Amino acid sequence: MRVWIIHSKYLDCKGLVALWRETLLARKVLKGKTKGWKNHPQLNKFKTHKDPVAAVNTYLLYVWKESEKRCYKFNKRKIEKNFTKKKIKISKKDIISDFEDLKNKLKKRNPEKYKEIAKIKKVEANPIFIINN
């Protein structure tokens, strides 16, 4: 399971589709509807939120918005109507690490997308997150 803290605009098509599916799984885990993945480290950032499920739904909404920009057909009805305005704090170190992980994946999987994002200096997070300096 990989739920990126970086903005989904940096992902290639495979990454965006995987993010959508894996975030839907993450929500199931947070709701206690699966047997596995309960202690997966990718869920920790959402568990710090007062309402983790609302945080995941808000995250999914932003992923869906990115999919719309790319003319993908993600099913918006899969996003529950429980949202939040409260952001989740993340560190600058975490977002840099996340972005480096993505670049390493894209070097092999999608060199063209890698070249597109390789020179980015200021990395944006998914809007549910706020970067602590």
Does a structural domain hold residue 25? yes
pLDDT for residue 66: 97
Rounded CA separation 31/37 (Å) = 12
Q: What is the pLDDT along the chain (133 residues), one digit of tens a residue?
A: 689 999 999 999 999 999 999 999 999 999 999 877 777 888 999 999 999 999 999 999 999 999 999 999 999 999 999 999 999 999 999 999 999 999 999 999 999 999 999 999 999 999 999 998 7
Which residues lie below 8 Å from residue 76, measured CB to CB, with a gap of 6+? Answer: 64
The whole model's pTM is what? 0.94
Does a structural domain hold residue 1? no
Does a structural domain hold residue 22? yes
Domain count, the chain: 1
Rounded CA separation 105/52 (Å) = 28
Q: Which of 75, 93, 77, 100 is nearest to 133 (CA)?
A: 93
Rounded CA separation 21/96 (Å) = 24
Does a structural domain hold residue 64? yes
Domain with 44 in it:
8-132
Does a structural domain hold residue 104? yes
Does a structural domain hold residue 30? yes
